[in-house]
Each structure stands twice: as structure tokens, then as C-alpha cells.
Amino acid sequence: MVDFLWEHLAWWPPTLLVCVGALISFLEARWPRQSNDPARTRRWPVNLGLYGAGLGLALWGLPSLNDAAIRWGSGLGWGGIAGSSLPDVAKVVLGVVVVDLLQYLLHRLSHAVPLLWRLHQVHHADEAFDVSTSVRHHPLEVAALSVFTLMGCAALGVPVLSLTFYLLLQVAHTAFCHANLMLPAGVDRWLRMWVVTPDMHRIHHSVHEEEGQRNFALVFPWWDHLLGTYRGLPRDGQAAMRVGLAYLRSGPDTGWWGSLLLPARRFRESSAGLQPQAPLPPPSAS
Ligand SMILES: [Zn+2]
């Protein structure tokens, strides 16, 4: 089964994402957390187009890059988790948890390192938050994260089964945690003990800088609690909070071409990162 999934890596993650995405989209229409986005017909082709570009790059150049990353990590000859004396089940579970911790750390680096932020800002540039946001990534960010993740996994000896299971989990979960979906408060509270929920992750997409520096976890929320980056509620409330990047609101084009070229644009940088170029407009009454 694992061999089958790795051999067909080019098609099953997009297929799973389309299936889960269609279900989430149906649920968003019935139980939206925020009022319907009037720019949806403009945003969705851009977000899906960026996903297509990432997929094209992945099919064209990623296999050889990924092989090199795995060879580099494996060359350390340490054995890591797979080479330990733990029972097989424990190795697989530990491997899944370790991959998610790696994702949390890479996500924090994507906000802290200016070069990586130039790529990651494309994801945060979305002016609304729904299932299509989950696939809005710059193709070079997808490639970079894939290579860094595989280097880390190979270096730590993460079992292939753990990586396969995590990929299945993450593909489905990323569509869920970006959903514009109203979950009952009790369900959200219970789920947050185990996975990142849409209300938790939406805070990370807030226009307010201090909220954008919170809730970095991708699948398991524990890292934000353990490493002091958790925030439970947005200051403007879930229904009224605005998402996106203040410095892009009245500035450069964030359409398909504009998003692809966004990392190359010149921004005023400081030790605090890329700075807003325009003041945030006042919130609309809602
Ligand atoms: Zn982020």
C-alpha cells in the first residue's frame, strides 16, 4: 500500500484534496463562519491557478530534488527513529508527531526569515479565508518546503509509513483548517485538543500583525501551546475579524501573475520584517 502511494504521488494528493475540498465547500455554503465573500469569483481562479502552477512544478522538477534531499539526510548514517529499538507502532506514531513538529518549525521560519516570508506572504495575501486559501501557495514555496521536510525526515530517520500517513492527514486537514465554517463551540473546543480547527487557524491569517505571529501549528495544536505561540480568540471576534496583509490591501496586484511575481517585489524591510506600505483602512460595519 505504501509503495503504491509513493509510486502514484503525482495524482492521489490532488485527488484527495479535490474530494475533501468539495465537501468542505458544500459545508461552507451551509454554515459559513463569516458572511459570503463577494470577491470569491475573482479569488478562486487565482488560488486554484497557483495550485496548478505548484503541481506543474512538482511534476516537472520535484522528484529529482526530493531524491537529492533524501540522499543527503540518509547519508548522515545515524538511523534515527527508524533505526531505534522502539516497537514498530511507536516508531510510526513518533514519526508522524515529529513530521508535524518539523512543519511547525518550518512555518515559524517562513515568517521569521525574510527570504522565506517573501514566498509565504503569497499564502497570507488572500483577502478572505476559505477552503481555496488552503491551496494558495507560491510554487517555489511548495518546492522549498518539500525539500526541507524530506531533508529533515531523512536526517531524523522518520519511517516512510509515518511520512505517508502524515501526507494523507495533512492533505485532508489543510482543506479543513482553512474552511470558512461555523463549528459548534463545544465541537471546536473538543477538536482543538487534537487538531488545529478553522477558528484557531483563521487567527493566524489576521490582518493584525501580533495575531499573524500566533497559531503556527499545521495539524496538531500542541506545539503552539508548548512553545508559547497559542492564541485562542481574535481581538475583533471570529465573525468580524479581517484577514490578509495590511500592506498589500491597497498596493500591488495579487492576481495570478501578481502573486507569482510578489516575492520579487521591493519592500521596505527592517529587523521586524516587511513593513506595511499603506495604512490599514477602517473596518467596514458588519
Ligand atoms: Zn503563515
CA 108 to ligand 1 center in whole angstroms: 7
Give the other-Cβ count within 10 Å of 276's Cβ: 16
pTM: 0.86
CA 102 to ligand 1 center in whole angstroms: 14
CA 267 to ligand 1 center in whole angstroms: 18
Q: pLDDT tens for residues 206-265?
A: 999 999 999 999 999 999 999 999 999 999 999 999 999 988 876 667 788 888 998 988
Chain centroid to CA 8: how far? 22
Q: pLDDT tens for residues 54-97?
A: 888 877 766 666 666 666 666 666 678 888 888 999 999 999 99
CA 212 to ligand 1 center in whole angstroms: 7
CA 18 to ligand 1 center in whole angstroms: 22
CA 43 to ligand 1 center in whole angstroms: 18
Rounded to the nearest integer, the mean pLDDT of the chain is: 85
CA 61 to ligand 1 center in whole angstroms: 25
Helix axes 139-156, 88-112, angle to 10 degrees: 140
Q: What is the pLDDT of residue 189?
A: 96
What span, in angstroms and rounded, lies between the C-alpha atoms of 230 and 213? Answer: 9
Identity (one letter) of the amino acid at 239?
A: A
Q: pLDDT tens for residues 37-54?
A: 778 888 999 999 999 998
Helix (H, G, I), strand (E, B) or coil at 278: coil
| H or E element at residue 274 | strand 273-274
Q: What is the pLDDT of residue 76?
A: 65
